[in-house]
Amino acid sequence: MTWRFALVIDPAPVDDTRTDFADTFTQIDPSAPALTVGELSTQRGDGIFETIGVIDGHVQEAEAHLQRLAHSARLCDLPAPHPDQWRQAIARAAAACGTGECAIKLILSRGVEHGPAPTAWVTAAETADFTDARDIGIRVVTLDRGYDITTPDRAPWLLLGAKTLSYAVNMAALREAKRRGADDAIFVSTDGFVLEAPTASLILLRGDRFITPAPHGGILQGTTQQSLFDHFRAHRYAVDYETIPVADLATADGAWLVSSLRLAAPITEIDGTPLPVDTALTASINHYLLSPRD
């Protein structure tokens, strides 16, 4: 990534009534050191984040990302982010993005142990080139996530369903997928149900219905997936949230991993089993995802 912008935020309490938060922002050199050695985001991954796509300066679905940031903050016992403060920070970052595709990242950390807390910042960077993933597709493998689908209800302290900075497991899963000759992975529960990808949501096509795993089992509900379901409904496609057995993956009429930056990547095979790819439908989906949307 080529970093374009970085802004440190002095987080305001959620009940702050001011309308201008400019004095809570400090723009910094994105290539310069900015965090102290005691920062818990780097020491323990103790914080949350969101990554927002920007297309030609237009921020995609900022409100959905802010709502999910607030949801993650509640799950992690972090102070609620002030929505207007973060909207203004996003606008500052978007102004630095220019044309093309860009990524804005929002980070809220617990801060420094026994010190100032929380800490927060926003960055903007150019994204990688995802043309091949969108046009050619990706191969995926299924990986056991190590818990059954009821675990999140029994153990909420595991923070399953929060978008935390603790991404070591997600990155390890991607490395394992590549060791197996694939491009990405789909997590499955120990009792045989489909969950999500390490950094994306899964959408399947069955006949004329689009389905995605129901948002339980520790699934982080995707903003891109929800936007696509709204788009499908508007075009009179049926959409459903279902508890999907792993065995159903191989019989799908189509499948995509969808996320804010890569957008829709058609899956060409799962665990070595080929899947049909509708090139025209995929192009239509990505055309929508590349268009300005709020």
Q: What is the mean pLDDT of the chain?
A: 95
The pLDDT tens digits of the residues spanning 232-283 come to: 999 999 999 999 999 999 999 999 999 999 999 999 999 999 999 999 999 9
**pLDDT-above-70 percentage for the chain:** 100
pLDDT in tens, 14-57: 999 999 999 999 999 998 888 888 899 999 999 999 999 999 99
| DSSP secondary structure string for all residues of 140-200 | EEEEE-SS-TTHHHH-GGG-TTS-BS--HHHHHHHHHHHHTT-SEEEEE-TTSBB---SSS
Model pLDDT, residue 1: 66
Neighbours of 94 (CB within 10 A): 20
In the predicted structure, residue 80 carries a pLDDT above the cut 70: yes
| pTM (two decimals) | 0.94
pLDDT at position 75, please?
Answer: 94
Residue 32 tokens, joined: 């310069």
Reported as a pLDDT band with limits 50, 70 and 90, residue 2 is confident
**Using CA atoms, how far apart are residues 89 and 102, in angstroms rounded to an integer?**
15
Q: In angstroms, what CA-CA distances link 203 with 145, 233, 263?
A: 19, 14, 12
pLDDT classification of 3: cutoffs 50, 70, 90: confident
pLDDT at residue 117 tops 90: no
**Residue 186 vs residues 32, 42, 68, 221, 227: alpha-carbon distances, Å:** 36, 27, 22, 14, 21
Q: Which of 240, 249, 246, 244 is nearest to 208 (CA)?
A: 240
- DSSP SS3 for 86: helix
Give pLDDT tens digits for 219-233.
998 999 999 999 999
Q: How do the domains of the chain map onto residue ranges?
A: 3-126, 131-290
Tell me how many degrees the CA angle 248-192-156 measures, rounded to the nearest 5: 125
Q: Do domains 3-126 and 131-290 have the same CATH topology?
A: no
Other CB atoms within a 10 A radius of the CB of residue 13 amount to 9
How many degrees, rounded to 5, is the angle at CA 22 between CA 18 and CA 23? 90
Q: What is the pLDDT of residue 261?
A: 97
Domain 3-126 has what CATH class? alpha beta
Q: What's the CATH fold of domain 131-290? A: D-amino Acid Aminotransferase; Chain A, domain 2 (3.20.10)
Which position has the token pair 């903050």?
73
